[in-house]
Amino acid sequence: MIAKSLAAAAFALLPLAAQAQHAELPTDPAADWSVATSEHRVAVEGGKVWARVNGVIGEGATPVIMIHGGPGGTHLNFGNLISLADQRPVILYDQLDSGMSDHPENPANWKPERFVAELEAIRKELGVERWHVIGHSWGSALALEYAAAYPQHTASAVLSGTFISTPHWITGTNLLIRELPDDVAAAIRACEGPNPPAAVVCEPATAAFYSAFNGRPDRPAPSPEARAYRNRYGGKGFNATVYNAMWGPTEFRASGPLATYDATHLLPRVDGSRVMYVVGQYDEARIDTVQDFVALTPGAELAVVPGGSHAYISERPEVAEAIYRDWMNRIDAREKAE
């Protein structure tokens, strides 16, 4: 669903009262993209989450918050999209037990509704009335759930690399396995069976799947700025414990609580004219599957990133930025006209 390789590719419900430790940071436009205008620690159920803002809330266009994948991923995948802050505040954060946020490692926190409440706590703490929510992979599920629960605070919802249903996802990844060379596909099936072969067989086969659908070999190398940020980030990255507990060991089989997750019933509850789906041409989130979601969301749009996989944000950053920028500008213009 939301691969461990995302973190590598970047180099990939009751509202709660929130408390933050606020630090103002320099905003030199010549500085690299890692410099935030402000950083915050926001109290949520189970601990505090770390958030960063580029821009000033209340100035510019409607803010946007980026919701990372996982479960257990981090904000790193969105680094190149901070360029959107030339028009609007851009908010990045790490979910509880990930990255710079607290790591209580309490399985009681690992449920979708708590992650949705986490978003609302951040909104209230930062003083945002309405925002665009852009989710990627597992973050798409949270973006959809948030938009359905808080339509009054949602200017638009972007469901990128769309995961909103485990049955659809598992069907999709198993269809993609058939597109691989016969020997690779056979190895993956064996590795997912009751008596898997050794890692020397399974690891290359899984890597071949990711190379095709989640981090293609022609992706650009990380910029010096991205590498510098990762170094300063201190290695606080992907949390495999959360991923394995909530999802399972691989993209092809779900064994955790998300094994039965399906949020498609929420699609009729959101304003489809404020929903956009975005997938890569070679995405794990298969285009035909996402087209079915679009059909269930009247008025919604679909954008496909040419040459991109599930990691298209890092593979085709200029295209991703252009798609998101155009979408939010059009929604903002419509709201002004209404």
Q: Indicate if the pLDDT at residue 137 is higher than 70.
A: yes
Active-site amino acid positions: 137, 283, 310
Give the per-residue pLDDT at 33: 64
The reported pLDDT for the residue numbered 226 is: 82
C-alpha 324/C-alpha 121 separation (Å) is: 24
Rounded to an integer, the average pLDDT of 206-228 is: 89
- Residue 187: inside a domain, yes or no? no
pLDDT band for 233, please (50, 70, 90 cuts).
Answer: confident
- Quick one: average pLDDT of 241-255? 91
The CATH code of the domain that includes 165 is 3.40.50.1820
Long-range contacts of 225-229 (CB under 8 A, 24+ apart): 225/32, 225/33, 225/34, 226/10, 226/11, 226/33, 226/79, 226/80, 227/11, 228/32, 228/34, 229/32, 229/33, 229/34, 229/76, 229/79
Q: Are 77 and 9 in contact (CB under 8 A)?
A: yes
pLDDT tens-place string over residues 18-70: 222 223 333 333 345 678 999 999 999 999 999 999 999 999 899 999 999 99
- Structural domain boundaries, residue 32: 5-177+224-337
Residue 286 has pLDDT above 70, yes or no: yes
Question: How much is the average pLDDT of 88-109?
Answer: 96
Beta-ladder partners of 64: 90, 132
Return d(Cα 171, Cα 206) in angstroms, integer.
Answer: 17
- C-alpha 289/C-alpha 172 separation (Å) is 7
Kindly state the tokens that stand for 95: 């979910």
pLDDT value, residue 221 = 87
Mean pLDDT of 173-190: 96
Name beta bridge partners: 135.
Answer: 67, 159
Rounded distance between C-alpha atoms, residue 161 and residue 23, angstroms: 33
User: What pLDDT shows up at residue 225?
Assistant: 81
Q: What's the structural domain count of the chain?
A: 1
Examine residue 217 and state whether it is found in any structural domain, yes or no: no
Q: Is residue 199 one of the residues assigned to a domain?
A: no
Is there a contact between 312 and 194 (Cβ–Cβ < 8 Å)?
no
Whether residue 208 is contained in a domain is answered as: no
Asked if residue 25 belongs to a domain, the reply is yes
Look at residue 239 and tell me whether its pLDDT is greater than 70.
yes
Predicted local confidence at residue 237, as pLDDT = 83
d(CA 214, CA 285): 10
In a domain, 192, yes or no: no
Indicate if the pLDDT at residue 8 is higher than 90. no
> Is residue 186, in this structure, part of any structural domain at all?
no
Say what the pLDDT of residue 12 is: 32
> CB–CB of 102/48 below 8 Å?
yes
